[in-house]
Structures are given as C-alpha cells and as structure tokens.
Amino acid sequence: MNQSSQTWHWESNAPLRADAEGLFVPRAELPDATIGDIVVVEGPEHNGRSGTVTATDEADGEQFFRIKLDQ
C-alpha cells in the first residue's frame, strides 16, 4: 500500500452483498482518490466495509475506480 494513502468515505444507496469481493465507484464521486487509497463504503446496509483502490477502468466513456474489498 502507498505510504501516503488517504482514506475516503463513499456512500452507496445500492445493496452490497456480504460476500462481494469488490465494486466499481465512479471516479467523479472520489475525484481526488488514487490507486492505493482506502475507501470506506457507507450506506444503510453496509456501514464500515472498506477496501483499497486497485485500478481504474472505463465503461461507456465514464471512468471508474476498482475497489477490492477487505474480507
């Protein structure tokens, strides 16, 4: 992990499966995040689940962060 990594909080309105290994977050919603940063996913069904930004992807012209969730 990057020594200068930051922690971000991202709110999701969509359900997140308990066994989900990762998710995609629109880059526009975390514009200052970088690979290696920590993202804490918050929402009504999954407060506190966190993961690490591992890559960026693009789909239909929109940029996304790939987040690998902690077990």
Quick check: helix, strand or coil at residue 28? helix
Whether 2 and 38 have beta carbons less than 8 Å apart is answered as no
**Does residue 1 form part of some domain?**
no
Q: Which residues of 49-67 are buried (b: 16+ CB within 10 A; e: fewer)?
A: bbbbbeeeeeeeeeebbbb
The domain total for the chain is 1
**Does residue 2 form part of some domain?**
no
Q: How confident is the model at residue 1 (pLDDT cuts 50, 70, 90)?
A: very low
**pLDDT confidence of residue 4:** 78
**Does residue 21 form part of some domain?**
yes
For residue 31, give the CATH number of its domain.
Answer: 2.30.130
**pLDDT confidence of residue 30:** 96
* pTM: predicted TM-score of the whole model, two decimal places: 0.85
**Does residue 11 form part of some domain?**
yes
**CA 30 to CA 8: how far, in whole Å?**
8
Provide the edge-to-edge strand list for the sheet that holds 49-59: 7-11, 38-42, 49-59, 62-69, 22-26
